[in-house]
Chain A
Amino acid sequence: AQSVAQPEDQVNVAEGNPLTVKCTYSVSGNPYLFWYVQYPNRGLQFLLKYITGDNLVKGSYGFEAEFNKSQTSFHLKKPSALVSDSALYFCAVRDKGSSNTGKLIFGQGTTLQVKP
């Protein structure tokens, strides 16, 4: 079965410092990986995706993620955190099972808190 894990419930970082939100996955074959962000009382917003090609993927709001096949990881990163980055972040893998519906399988989410 395909799954995604986000090992940290919360990440705290000071404004201006680099941030990393961790994600590991377990899938058969090549994964299609996504990061979404959720601000309070809002839906999920797409940040970036890895489908194929370069392992370093750049996305919205200055975020990037590095796909590492050997470590089965897809960590989200940003060189310099902003207070406005404080939100709930979800890593997800797109279902490629026999039904091929493309549904997303989510990690449990990581709350990012950026302090001024």
Chain B
Amino acid sequence: GAGVSQSPSNKVTEKGKDVELRCDPISGHTALYWYRQSLGQGLEFLIYFQGNSAPDKSGLPSDRFSAERTGGSVSTLTIQRTQQEDSAVYLCASSETRDSYNEQFFGPGTRLTVL
């Protein structure tokens, strides 16, 4: 079946602009996660959705970052007033449930470059 998809695959933006990154999880997966992969910080958790609610936003680095999920499916990560330190690969993952024994399936990522 179809895996996790993300769009765009690459995004180049100017400092100060807003960007939206999209994630389509595997159908039926209730848990959705956003991670960020950068050279200096490795792979770090950003936010977790269970259905449409986000009980854990502890990884969002600043209030410029926000995310939503609608219909228990598609999720959008928004970064306002982008900064150069936001440059990274943003990965989305989904899991059948939040149960810890379920593996997460990752999308190909969105590479964000802030000039």
Interface residues of A (CB under 8 A from B): 32, 34, 36, 41-46, 49, 51, 90, 94-96, 99-109
Contact = CB atoms under 8 A, between A and B. Distances in A.
A26 B50 CA distance: 26
Contact of A43 (B42, B58, B107): B107
A108 to B, nearest CB: 5
Given A42-B108, A43-B106, A46-B104, A102 B43 contact: no
A101 B48 contact: yes
A43 B103 contact: no
Nearest to A43: B106
Interface of A is mostly: loop
Given A43-B91, A43-B106, A105 B45 contact: yes
Interface stretch (B13-21, B67-75, B80-88, B94-102): B94-102
A108 B95 contact: no
- How many B residues are at the interface, by size bracket? 20 to 34
Interface of B is mostly: strand
Contacts of B1: none
Interface in B40-87: 42-45, 48, 50, 55-56, 58-59
Contact of A32 (B43, B97, B100): B100
Contact of B33 (A32, A103, A109): A103
B43 A106 contact: yes
B45 A104 contact: yes
A41 B107 CA distance: 11
A89 B44 CA distance: 15
A90 B42 CA distance: 10
